[in-house]
Each structure stands twice: as C-alpha cells, then as structure tokens.
C-alpha cells in the first residue's frame, strides 16, 4: 500500500521543529525515524504512531485510533489513527508529540554500516 503525499507533507512539517528525522519506507508506507527509532508514519491516508507500551491503552481510547494490526496481530505500542483523528493541525501535533516522546525515551541506535565483501 502506498502513502498519501499530502499527509506525509503535513507530518514532515510538524516534525521539522522536533529534531532531525529520517524517512524510511516501512510497513508498505512511509516511516519517520528519530534517533534510529520509528516515531510515526503514514500508511495510505492513516497515521501510524509509536506510543509505547505504557501509553498504548490510553492511545487506543482516543477518538479515531485503533490497534495497528499490520501483520494480522496487534502490534502493542503502535496505533493507527484514521484521517478524521488528525484533520485539525492541533490533533496531528498531539499525535506526533506522543510518537516523538516515546522515540526520545529510547537510547539512540548505533548506525549500521554495511560491509562489502
């Protein structure tokens, strides 16, 4: 599945104030990585947010949020948010804050260098 470029651009703009991010194609969409960890992403017109295990139940209780079940099983700590859940810029900012907060709580990942044989 592809991702909606308009949604991706809104996410890029919101993340620009929060530190350096890297974009990576993941889960059939586009993921945004902060310090080597996914914080959020776009799949179709939906937002993917990594909220972490402690915030998972609270995030699922938010309007328009549901389990991220990419593999057919819920991925605990990740949620999908339908487009209605982030129509307003303030709602998008709130979801991105959740993802950024969790990604920043993790130790930075060491960069991997590929060794050619």
The encoded tokens of residue 41 equal: 């992403």
Decide the pairing of beta strands 65-67 and 46-50: unpaired
> pLDDT (tens digit, 9 = 90+) per residue, 44-95?
999 999 999 999 999 999 999 999 987 788 899 999 999 999 999 999 999 9
The whole domain housing 30 covers 5-104
Q: What is the CATH number of the domain that holds 75?
A: 3.90.1150.30
Instruction: Give Cα 117 to chain centroid, integer Å.
Output: 35
List the 37-43 sheet strands across, edge first. 21-26, 29-34, 37-43, 46-50, 78-81, 65-67
As for how many domains the chain has, the answer is: 1
The verdict on residue 46 lying in a domain is yes
The verdict on residue 33 lying in a domain is yes
The verdict on residue 115 lying in a domain is no
d(CA 37, CA 111): 11
Answer yes or no: are the C-beta atoms of 67 and 75 closer than 8 Å. yes
The verdict on residue 100 lying in a domain is yes
The verdict on residue 87 lying in a domain is yes
The verdict on residue 116 lying in a domain is no
d(CA 83, CA 47): 7
Q: How confident is the model over 29-47, as a mean pLDDT?
A: 96
């Amino acid at each position: 599945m592809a991702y909606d470029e308009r949604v991706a651009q809104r996410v890029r703009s919101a993340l620009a104030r929060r530190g350096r991010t890297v974009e990576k194609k993941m889960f059939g969409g586009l993921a945004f990585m902060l310090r080597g960890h996914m914080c959020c992403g776009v799949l179709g017109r939906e937002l993917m947010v990594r909220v972490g295990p402690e915030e998972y139940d609270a995030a699922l209780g938010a309007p328009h949020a549901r389990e991220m079940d990419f593999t057919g099983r819920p991925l605990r700590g990740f949620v999908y948010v339908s487009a209605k859940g982030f129509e307003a810029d303030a709602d998008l900012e709130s979801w991105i804050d959740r993802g950024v907060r969790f990604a920043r709580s993790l130790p930075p990942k060491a960069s991997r260098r590929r060794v050619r044989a």
